[in-house]
């Protein structure tokens, strides 16, 4: 790991890594939490659907899915899921259910940027590939009506409520949260801070190990808000099984760097879960 530049007016900081020697990357991000977060009905800021933009975006998504599906990166991504140790964790999450529904938070603007297109593409390809992956629900407050229509045309549904990441895993659920902010992972963990709920979650997102490493290595210089937004992530680490994604290909680095699968196994009663201030 190289250096961490803590830029902090907006509560975000930038990590610059020496590895691969070429790319600064914006991870993890921390956002100021000034208001009480509430789950609220949501409608896109831009309400009108533009049919020309919509058809262009459908084309872009088709190109993205095709490119990804034929890539070595995708083959390895699938291979990782099929590795016996990882597959075993998915089986445990499934329990007696036959399918895991997928909730995608924080996909970003699929019209404006390629990484969100690759991220949505991989989620759709995984559903096509594995019959144990069920319906896909998507939410990001930045989605426009045009983007939402495209997401729907690809067989997913778009949530009409901003859950603030606080979905309770009443059923086994795959949370696909590529490069989200620490608060969103923390909200998800908080909403599921019981051993049975945590055991029903498979989570794809920023590496929790990396969050912990950053906080430990920089604890004397970090903004207290950063420490607070990662507290629960670090608390869950002691019973997290994490499997990192390798991104050796430049094409897929921006979309998937520093990402991992996470599974939470705790064999003890709820009372033994660490107490974490919210």
Ligand X SMILES: C[S@@+](CC[C@H](N)C(=O)[O-])C[C@H]1O[C@@H](n2cnc3c(N)ncnc32)[C@H](O)[C@@H]1O
Contact 64, 118 (CB under 8 A): yes
For ligand X, which is the closer residue by CB, 82 or 152?
A: 152
Take residue 66 and report the two structure tokens written for it: 């095709």
Applying CB under 6 A, among 74, 105, 175, 239 the residue interacting with ligand X is 105
Shortest distance, position 115 Cβ to ligand X, whole Å: 4
Residue 24 as a binder of ligand X (CB under 6 A): the answer is no
**H or E segment and range at residue 262:** strand 259-264
What's CA 234's distance to the chain center, in Å? 16
d(CA 33, CA 76): 37
Element (H, E) at 41: strand 40-41
Distance of CA 90 to the CA centre of its chain: 16
Residue 115 vs 172, nearer CB to ligand X: 115
Determine the length of the chain.
278
* The two structure tokens encoding residue 98: 């036959």
CB of 111 or CB of 140, closer to ligand X:
140
Binding string to ligand X for residues 116 to 155, with x set by CB under 6 A, is what?
Answer: x--x-------------------xxxx-------------
Site residues for ligand X, 173-192, by CB under 6 A, read: 178-181, 184
- Shortest Cβ distance from residue 270 to ligand X (Å)? 26
**What is the sign, positive or negative, of the torsion defined by CA atoms of 193, 199, 201, 203?**
positive
Total of chain residues touching ligand X, rule CB under 6 A: 21
Nearer to ligand X, 12 or 50 (CB): 12
What is the binding site for ligand X (CB under 6 A)?
A: 29, 105-108, 113, 115-116, 119, 139-142, 162, 164-165, 178-181, 184
């Amino acid at each position: 790991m190289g250096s961490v530049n803590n830029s902090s007016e907006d509560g975000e900081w930038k990590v610059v890594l020496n590895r691969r020697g070429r790319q600064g990357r914006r991870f993890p991000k921390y956002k100021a939490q000034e208001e009480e977060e509430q789950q609220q009905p949501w409608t896109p800021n831009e309400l009108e659907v533009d049919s020309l933009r919509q058809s262009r975006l459908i084309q872009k998504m088709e190109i993205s899915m095709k490119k990804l599906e034929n890539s070595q990166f995708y083959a390895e991504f699938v291979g990782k899921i099929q590795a016996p140790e990882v597959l075993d964790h998915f089986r445990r999450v499934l329990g007696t259910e036959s399918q895991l529904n997928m909730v995608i938070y924080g996909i970003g603007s699929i019209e404006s940027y390629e990484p969100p297109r690759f991220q949505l593409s991989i989620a759709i390809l995984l559903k096509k590939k594995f019959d144990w992956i069920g319906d896909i629900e998507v939410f990001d407050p930045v989605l426009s009506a045009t983007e939402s229509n495209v997401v729907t045309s690809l067989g997913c549904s778009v949530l009409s409520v901003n859950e603030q990441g606080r979905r309770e895993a009443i059923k086994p659920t795959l949370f696909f949260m590529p490069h989200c902010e620490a608060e969103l992972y923390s909200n998800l963990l908080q909403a599921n801070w019981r051993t049975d709920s945590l055991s029903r979650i498979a989570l794809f997102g920023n590496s929790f190990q990396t969050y912990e490493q950053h906080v430990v290595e920089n604890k004397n210089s970090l903004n207290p808000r950063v420490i607070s937004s990662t507290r629960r992530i670090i608390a869950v680490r002691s019973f997290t099984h994490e499997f990192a994604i390798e991104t050796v290909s430049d094409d897929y680095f921006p979309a998937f760097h520093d990402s991992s699968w996470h599974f939470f196994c705790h064999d003890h009663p709820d009372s033994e879960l660490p107490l974490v201030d919210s």
